[in-house]
Amino acid sequence: MPKLRGNGLRWTLLFVILGLLLGRQAGSWLVVDRPQPADAIVVLAGETEQRPAKGLQLLAQGLAPRLVLDAPGGNHVYRWSQLELARQYLSSLPAAPQLAACPIAGLSTRDEARDVAGCLAVSGAHEAQVRRVLLVTSDYHTRRALAIFRHQMPAVEFSAAAAYDPAQYGIQWWRHRQWAKTFFDECVRLLWWYGVDRWRR
């Protein structure tokens, strides 16, 4: 009996150590930051400072000839919709001819991927011509966004660029409360995608 308890303790300690090691690595596993040249840069909705700034930086570097900024069509800030604000913002920039806003109706990344497919087809480059898309989103969201967009638009080659915001997330997620909250929330969303949403029509 003591021997069995000793073996049980060893296995428990082993699983705890493995869990800690995997937990430390999981913070960086969520982040995919490998931007590749593309036909279009798509900045995903949800954050309005770091993501657009990163997208414009990549556009200026010549990674794509144009940029599409996703914006919710129904959400309002006082009397303006986020889509209207996005269009005003883009039209004020020097690169305005290369920029377009894409209205997003859905609340999930899966729904956003469908809306983006429509925007790419409508905005002058039919989906058959758009073979490579560079997604720009928050660092912790990159892996899930890539998985979803690749599933929803299998004919398109996707890469991702991470927009970093130290106030929201860091790969050493256990060091700050907000980082840990973001980490666990994103892990749940990723599991939900692979376990549930991926199989829905």
Kindly indicate the confidence band of residue 23, based on its pLDDT and cuts at 50, 70 and 90. low
Residue 201 identity (one-letter amino acid):
R
Helix (H) or strand (E) holding 41: strand 40-43
Q: Lowest-pLDDT range, 29-43, 152-166, 187-201?
A: 187-201
Each residue's pLDDT tens digit, 159-168: 999 999 999 9
Reading the block at residue 92, the tokens are 């004020």
Residue 74: predicted pLDDT: 78
Q: Which domains does the chain have, with CATH numbers?
A: 31-162 (3.40.50.620)
Q: Is the pLDDT of residue 181 over 80?
A: yes
Region of 157 on the Ramachandran plot (φ > 0 left; ψ -120 to 50 alpha; else beta): beta
Calculate ∠ Cα 53-130-165, nearest 5°: 20
Tokens of 49: 């400072």
Name residues whose C-beta falls within 8 Å of residue 177's C-beta, 6 or more positions apart in sequence: none
Averaged pLDDT for residues 55-62:
98
> At 161, which helix (H) or strand (E)?
strand 157-163
Residue 93 above 70 pLDDT? yes
Q: How big is the CA angle at 146 (ends 35 and 187), to the nearest 5 degrees?
A: 120
Backbone phi, then psi, for 139, in 5-degree steps? -50, -45
Residue 28 has pLDDT above 90, yes or no: no
Query: Residue 27: pLDDT band by 50, 70, 90 thresholds?
Result: confident
Whether residue 11 is predicted with pLDDT greater than 70 in this model: the reply is no
> Residue 200 pLDDT > 50, yes or no?
yes
The DSSP element (H or E) to which 103 belongs, if any, is strand 99-104
Q: What is the mean pLDDT of the chain?
A: 87
What average pLDDT does the segment 59-87 reach?
A: 91
What confidence tier does 192 reach under pLDDT thresholds 50, 70, 90?
very high
The tens digit of pLDDT for each residue in 105-156 reads: 988 999 999 999 999 986 554 444 789 999 999 999 999 999 999 999 999 9
Residue 147's pLDDT is 97
CA distance to 5, 75, 108, 127, per residue, from 161 (Å): 49, 26, 19, 21
Q: Residue holding tokens 């907000």? A: 178
| Token couple for 175 | 């060091």
The pLDDT value given to residue 128 = 47
